[in-house]
Copies of this chain bind each other. A is one copy, B any other.
């Protein structure tokens, strides 16, 4: 059984850390608000006072903090990465920009530590049930070492060198945003054109137009239930990061750029806290409806 430092035990992190502890690993958890980590004691985890204390001589450090700057601070400024055992692996499972992950990988290498960026998709339910989609960037050998841990949390795919897990996550978020916009436009056309949009959705499920977004977010759109879920402001952040990443790669991605603008409009019109499927409302607003 491995010694694992687990940093960041929020809504998803606490579930992931619990599964690792219940599988018999020696989990040392740290969270900025200690009470969120304390819940893990009953599953056999120990609670650390600082990130470096959690990481001391551990083989693995899993980071599920809120964003890139927080990961940077905890791993590098607060000395968590340096505290790991020789050949220790830092695994950042937060969603962070590609260039942040690449810079962290370099900084860890300078400390003699390995680095994997392995962001996830699947939400709280996926974290709880161990069914997360895990997109891992890093060296093949290190990902193989970490695989027993990943398999407790979900299904891992090695998508390239360090940073590429974050790129895969970005592609995922970009597809989600564009597909929401697509489903919203189709359901709006169905409704305004005189069809029963709920029946149209039912009719096309199972065919070429089928998608998880049509099934899940399509239903929210039809019910007008835009309680988040994933708030539009987070979707917008992902869209901005995706377009900035595309621009650095010298790529013009016109559909994604347009959908980013639609989320800019949605947030500018005050719907930042609304579920991202509420882009339907932005389309109505654009068309003077409602």
A129 to B252, CA, bound (A): 42
Closest to A183 in B: B175
A246 to B289, CA, bound (A): 14
Most B-side CB within 10 Å, residue of A193, A251, A259: A193
Which residues between 195 and 215 of chain A lie within 8 Å of chain B, taking CB atoms? 195-196, 199-200, 202-204, 206-214
Instruction: Please tell me if the beta carbons of B158 and A199 are within 8 angstroms of each other in the complex.
Output: yes
Instruction: Please tell me if the beta carbons of A157 and B203 are within 8 angstroms of each other in the complex.
Output: yes
Q: Which residues of B contact A211 (CB under 8 A)?
A: 175, 179, 210-214
**When each residue 131-170 of chain A gets 1 if its CB lies under 8 Å from chain B and 0 otherwise, what string results?**
0011101000000000000000001011111011001101
Interface assignment of A121: CB less than 8 Å from any CB of chain B? yes
A246 to B173, CA, bound (A): 27
Chain A interface, DSSP helix/strand/loop, else mixed: helix
Q: Which residues of B contact A190 (CB under 8 A)?
A: 159, 167-168, 171
Q: Which residues of B contact A181 (CB under 8 A)?
A: 178, 255
What's the nearest-Cβ distance from chain B to residue A88, in Å? 25
What's the nearest-Cβ distance from chain B to residue A205, in Å? 8
Binding site for B on A (CB under 8 A): 98, 121-122, 133-135, 137, 155, 157-161, 163-164, 167-168, 170-176, 178-179, 181-183, 185-190, 192-196, 199-200, 202-204, 206-214, 216, 242, 245-246, 249-256, 258-259, 262, 283, 286-287
